[in-house]
Amino acid sequence: MLRPIVVIWDNFGFSHNDRCEALAKYYYGRRDIVGVEISGSSDTYNWASEPGVGFRKVTLYSKKRANEISIIPRAYYTLLACLRLGRADVFLCHYENFATFAVAIILRILGSNTYVMNNSKFDDKKRHLLREAMKSIFLTPYRGALVAGARSVAYLRFLGVPSNRIATGYNSLSLARVRACAGCPPAPEGAPLAERHFTIVARFTPKKNLFLALEAYSVYCSLVDTPRILHLAGYGPLERELLRRIDKLHLDERVVFHKSLANPDVCRLLATTSVLLLPSIEEQFGNVVIEAQAMGLPVIISDNCGAWDHLVRSSVNGFVVEPDNAEGLAYFMKVLSTDENLWRQMCFEAQRSAELGDVKRFAEGVAAVLGDGDKDQALRAPGLQSIGSFL
């Protein structure tokens, strides 16, 4: 049997389980798949740690959050978990973390191969030369990288990772799980357009640009005779401010506020949605776009969203708008809420593009990085051809 594959994340939610289960299916009988989570609860998301199916899962700290664990114990217990498996192919996140950096170096010295998982883009935020130079140093222990899309590939190349060692497919979800949780077929089947609503699923943080989304929704309401309801689902520090803005814009009767929906509830909400909105100022990818497309939904996203590279073709399966363009967002909302023929056509296109975000792409990307699969497979998605091909 080949070396085991070890995948390490701070915490395992549904998306991480999807990916490890896909790996276990892809490598069935050839490689052991082991998922290592640092903490049993997430620093950022409200998901709960979930048991794995088809792969072995190891939790280092069941009662602490990852940000509560200092560098030395985090590095020590991560190393210990890996060394118990012998030489392995190890995939790690958060390469800029000192504990992760130490683990990657020691594993390479001891004969394991290490690979970085990353979905950052150069345009996520303002970059500083010294910090970027440090990142290049922190990437030296890795033999390759698994990333999200074209801009992630370009960013890793900028940091010095050769293009022939980079594959895409990192951000992916199980389409089958999303559809099973939704409990109905993807659009345009299911609820008729007249009964569907707009939906935003996002953490209530500044980078999600929710105040602009509410402004755009207010403009949209002024453009049509019978506005669709907007469902806003999420959690975070801006909750009270968002409620105040909704009241100020006189949208109380038009915005349905959901707090901390579990993922199955999100899937069921998408089952009655017409269009997903994601106008983020900063968005490394936007996994909810995959969930929306799994349910056949067009999306309106900002050009900062990494999912644009990989999943969204403007005017084909959705629209792309600048994150400061409330009028443009409102216009596209009007178009998709009033032109049923266009909406139905985009629904079929969304179903097609959803396959590019299916979790099998993660397994194919891992295989491409390891040299086990088709090395060109991960660069066949729209928007990636200009990046180059694997050698």
Give residue 118's domain range. 5-172+359-387
Are 190 and 142 in the same domain?
A: no
**Percentage of the residues of the chain whose pLDDT score is greater than 70:** 95
Summarised one tens digit per residue, pLDDT across range 277-299 is: 999 999 999 999 999 999 999 99
Q: What is the pTM of this model?
A: 0.93
Are 324 and 364 in the same domain?
A: no
Q: Residue range 99-119: average pLDDT?
A: 98
Are 195 and 136 in the same domain?
A: no
Summarised one tens digit per residue, pLDDT across range 36-59 is: 999 988 877 777 777 778 999 999
What are the residues whose beta carbons fall under 8 Å from the beta carbon of 363, sequence distance 6 or more? 19, 22, 23, 25, 26, 27, 169
Query: Per the structure, how many domains does the chain have?
Result: 2
Phi, psi values for residue 59, rounded to 5°: -110, 125
Torsion of CA 163, 167, 170, 171, to 10 degrees: 80
Summarised one tens digit per residue, pLDDT across range 152-178 is: 999 999 999 999 999 999 999 999 999
Summarised one tens digit per residue, pLDDT across range 351-375 is: 999 999 999 999 999 999 999 876 5
Please report the pLDDT score of residue 287 as a whole number: 97
Type and span of the H or E element at 30: none
What are the residues whose beta carbons fall under 8 Å from the beta carbon of 254, sequence distance 6 or more? 217, 221, 227, 229, 230
Are 243 and 336 in the same domain?
A: yes
Give which of 278, 276, 280, 125 is closest to 208, Cα–Cα.
Answer: 280
Please report the pLDDT score of residue 41 as a whole number: 81
The verdict on whether omega for the bond into residue 279 sits within 30 degrees of 0, i.e. cis, is: no
Q: Residue range 22-34: average pLDDT?
A: 96
Are 139 and 113 in the same domain?
A: yes
Reduced to 3 states, what is the DSSP secondary structure of residue 76? Answer: helix
* Whether pLDDT at 322 is above 50: yes
What are the residues whose beta carbons fall under 8 Å from the beta carbon of 213, sequence distance 6 or more? 200, 277, 279, 329
- DSSP conformational letter for 284: S
Please report the pLDDT score of residue 376 as a whole number: 55
Are 155 and 39 in the same domain?
A: yes
Summarised one tens digit per residue, pLDDT across range 120-130 is: 999 999 999 99
Are 245 and 368 in the same domain?
A: no
Beta strands of the chain (E only): which ranges?
Answer: 5-9, 33-41, 56-65, 89-92, 113-118, 144-147, 166-168, 197-201, 230-234, 255-259, 273-278, 299-302, 318-321
Are 211 and 323 in the same domain?
A: yes
Are 13 and 25 in the same domain?
A: yes
| Band of pLDDT at residue 66, cut at 50, 70 and 90 | confident
On whether the CB atoms of residues 108 and 131 are closer than 8 A, the answer is no
Are 218 and 276 in the same domain?
A: yes
Are 10 and 78 in the same domain?
A: yes
Please report the pLDDT score of residue 50 as a whole number: 74
CATH number at residue 295: 3.40.50.2000
